[in-house]
Amino acid sequence: MSFRPSVNRIARSQGSTTARMWGRLLLAAAFAVGSHAICAGELVSVKSRDGTQNIYINSPSTPPAWVIVLFAGSDGVVALSENGPTNEQGNFLVRTAPYWATVGDAAVVFDAPSDQAKGMDDEFRLSGAASQDVVAVVTELKKRYPAAKVALVGTSRGTITVGNVLLRNPDLADAFVLTSPVSIAVHGKPGLSDVAWPQNKARVLVLSNEHDVCAASPFWAAKRMAADNNFDFVAVSSTMGGGNKHAECGGQAPHGYLGIESTALAAINEWLNGRRTESRP
C-alpha cells in the first residue's frame, strides 16, 4: 500500500498574493520544525548550450542538506527578476518555494531558457536540449553546495522536464519527484504518455491528489505510472472545491494542492529524508 498523509480540507481560494502565501508557509514551518535563517534570494544566470538559463536561489544561512530544483507547470516561463518569479506565482511549486529554506534546504526556481522565452512546449521539454539545460544548472549547484544532495521536483507540465532528465541522465540527481504528473496525452500534447522508465534505478516519488480532475493528470494514471515503473507513490486528498473548467489544470485547484500545501510539502520532505517507509502502489 502507498503511504497516505493526513487529509486536510481544501481552503477556499482567496486570491492572496504570493508574498502572503509565502509568509504563511514560513510561519507554519517555523512552528512545525523550527525555522532556519534564510539568506536573501539570488538571481543566477547559467551558461547553457548557446544561451543562458536563469534560476533563482533561496537558501538557509547554514549549508543545506538538499538542493531542491523546482520546475513549474504550464509553459515554464516564471520570468525571474532580482526579486524572484514575476509569472506563474500561483503555481504550486513557485508559491511554496520558500518552504524549503525554512526546513534547511536550498530552493532553486528554474525558468525557461533564453531560447524558449515564449514558453516551452512538450516537444522541447522532452528534448536533449532541455536535458542539457538542467545538467548545466545542476553542475553549477553542485559547485555551490558540494555536500548537498540534489532533488529535481516538477509539477504538472514541469514533470515532463523532470521525467525527461530521469530518462536521459538518471544519475544527475539523488532524487526525482513528480507531482500531478502529466501522464495522459490531451489536445495533441503528449506529456509523459509515451515515456517509460522500466529499468529505472533512481529514487523517484510520484505525488497525486485523489481529486485532481485535470484530464492530463488524473489520479489513477499517476498511480499506474508509479506501479509500472516501480516508483514510490504518495496519495493526498482534498475536497473538490469550485472553479471553472480552465482552472482544473491550474495551481488554484486540487491539481495544485490548494489548501493542502503543507500536507503535500511535508510528504515530499519526509520521503526525501527517509522518515517514512518507502512503499509501492
Amino acid (1-letter code) at residue 267: A
Percent of the chain scoring above 70 in pLDDT:
81
Q: What is the pLDDT of residue 245?
A: 47
With 0-12 / 13-18 / 19 or more C-beta atoms within 10 angstroms meaning exposed / middle / buried, residue 147 is exposed
Confidence of residue 23 (pLDDT cuts 50, 70, 90): very low
**Coil, helix or strand for 64?**
coil
A 10 A CB-CB count for 120 gives: 25
Q: What is the pLDDT of residue 238?
A: 84
Confidence of residue 253 (pLDDT cuts 50, 70, 90): confident
Tens of pLDDT, residue by residue over 30-81, are: 444 455 666 779 999 999 998 999 999 999 989 999 999 999 999 999 999 9
Q: Are 59 and 103 in contact (CB under 8 A)?
A: no
Confidence of residue 281 (pLDDT cuts 50, 70, 90): low
With 0-12 / 13-18 / 19 or more C-beta atoms within 10 angstroms meaning exposed / middle / buried, residue 276 is middle
Residues in Cβ contact with 261 at an 8 Å cutoff, skipping those fewer than 6 apart = 25, 92, 95, 96, 99
> What fold, for 18-272?
Rossmann fold (3.40.50)
**pTM of structure:** 0.87
Mean pLDDT for 268-275 is: 93
Residues in Cβ contact with 119 at an 8 Å cutoff, skipping those fewer than 6 apart = 74, 75, 76, 77, 112
Residues in Cβ contact with 31 at an 8 Å cutoff, skipping those fewer than 6 apart = none
Q: What is the pLDDT of residue 172?
A: 98
Q: What is the pLDDT of residue 230?
A: 94
Tens of pLDDT, residue by residue over 85-108, are: 999 999 999 999 999 999 999 999
Pairwise CA distance, residues 259 & 144, whole Å: 34
